[in-house]
Structure 1
């Protein structure tokens, strides 16, 4: 089939239209908030490198890693505790952490639960969902066993800001030390992938969203204004079982550095307090401010390849048409 110059140009232009920056920007949902992936605080299968080690995370206790499926912090056996912690501190001013997990087991009675940590301490086993008490920073607890908290439906998800001296309120399931929380009936043993998304803008708000009812349906658990976390803290996950047990699996972790493209316009569902623009500096995690991260590098490479391919195809079509015109 003969290629004409007009057809080549039309195909070339349609190819470029697919990869325009505007089409990529729509993936963000809120065009006032931009993000840069934090590879140092993210986890995907197979989790381990060829030496069966993780470059960015340490683990311990009863944690088991099955490279093709999950990181199991505790198995469905009594008296287990496991943890996984980032090796590098989370130094981003504003960030979002989305993690997929699965809590399940064989028994009709189960416990105790799992936690996410943003704390100055790291990799220390203890009585608070498998990690140390008297922590300094933030703990997010998915508590599956009710001790003594009347009027509250379990499983229950709560947050605590630790000052390094205050102990977690075990006797009342964290009631005395709770910053915010919500009931999440159905989050254990759900038929869909269960996820949580924690968003933090320094001195503005801390928000937790959960997915456990329907696929791609997020439910806001809490939004707390004027929260300040330690500027240098580690990301961790832990779980604990006592006389009752459960499997507590960590599937994936996606962490992002966030910055506001329009500091005078707050995002939906957030306070109207103007945010400071915290665009990441050049060199952040190997990505520059001008490039916008690996996504923009890939975009530029694709456009460059399309231009080269289009030019070559056009030249071939022109030479073919000119040769045919001689006859």
Structure 2
């Protein structure tokens, strides 16, 4: 048992180390098709890359307001074209605020197969297929959980979101974010996705430039190949302003390590680069197995010593 737990911890540490090494080489290219900033609208009072509907209103010098601080409102904002990048990062500045001491319901971010449909899940359709990130500001029934609560749900197109339990039964990952609503600094979320490698959600609401990790997983869900980026919000008897300030979308890729050119043909340069990459890979593998071997030997010696002590 001790050996298994130690190996599990070692594996997680090795994964984190590898991811960190990859992150250092990650480069980005802005995705204009999925980014949005003031004044939001073109000269014909339309957005080239986004559609909006429901109770959404746009003030070109300040915000896209998905719901105003009034009861029974729903609004949405969805990209016109799907997000086709394999690896991406989306950073959103938003603001949830209002004049009431009791407020609700919350704001959602979507990467889903369908787009622009009003519904009961934070203003968008239920039984969705894809990924939903919910910033839930009103607590229905989650004992022991501090609200606002931020959670991810992976929809299969069949499973329904249960409002009565605040989605507890369908939660993929989540975190409490006390102070996010009505924060005095710009509030942001940053969602980073590498296909088959990891999914990470970070929040900024405590101080400018301080990113708080909400969740991170090395077993990310499968995002539909055709997925639209969207946002929605909803109010019920209680209400709030739910604003989108800006959206920055980036395509991520891993930069190949470069090496100094050596005299000779380009073929030699390519071989050097490939050799360096494979050499680094095998170095990681060797270190990993050496550490496992050391733990095993140490554990075996400890167990033998423990048995000898029991004889006496």
1:257 paired residue among 237, 251, 257 = 251
Q: Residue deviations 1:267-293, cap 9 Å, x none?
A: xxxxx99xxxxxxxxxxxxxxxxxxxx
Tell me the CA shift for residue 214 of structure 1.
0.6
Partner of 1:164: 157
Tell me the CA shift for residue 31 of structure 1.
4.0
Q: Residue deviations 1:248-280, cap 9 Å, x none?
A: 000000000001114979xxxxxx99xxxxxxx
Partner Cα distance (1:118, 1:30) in 2: 23
Structure 1 residues 42-61: aligned runs within 5 Å: 42-61=35-54
1:153 paired residue among 146, 151, 155 = 146
Greater Cα offset, 165-174 or 188-197: 165-174
**1:69 and 2:80 are equivalent in the alignment:** no
1:99 paired residue among 66, 79, 92 = 92
Q: Residue deviations 1:15-50, cap 9 Å, x none?
A: xxxxxxxxxxxxxx9540011100000000000011
Q: Residue deviations 1:102-140, cap 9 Å, x none?
A: 000000000000000000010000000000000000000
User: Which stretches of structure 1, 4 residues or more, deviate above 3 A after TM superposition?
Assistant: 262-265
**1:115 and 2:111 are equivalent in the alignment:** no
Q: Which runs of 5+ in 2 are unaligned?
A: 1-21, 258-276, 279-283, 286-312
2:26 paired residue among 8, 22, 33 = 33
Partner of 1:231: 225
Partner Cα distance (1:103, 1:192) in 2: 12
Tell me the CA shift for residue 230 of structure 1.
1.1
SS at match of 2:41: coil
**1:242 and 2:239 are equivalent in the alignment:** no
Aligned pair count? Answer: 239
Partner of 1:205: 198
Q: Which has the higher helix share?
A: 2
Partner Cα distance (2:214, 2:24) in 1: 23
The CA RMSD measured in Å over matched residues stands at 1.7
Partner Cα distance (2:180, 2:170) in 1: 23
**1:90 and 2:83 are equivalent in the alignment:** yes
Partner Cα distance (2:35, 2:223) in 1: 20
SS at match of 1:176: helix
**1:193 and 2:194 are equivalent in the alignment:** no
Partner of 1:177: 170
Q: Which runs of 5+ in 1 are unaligned?
A: 1-28, 266-271, 274-327
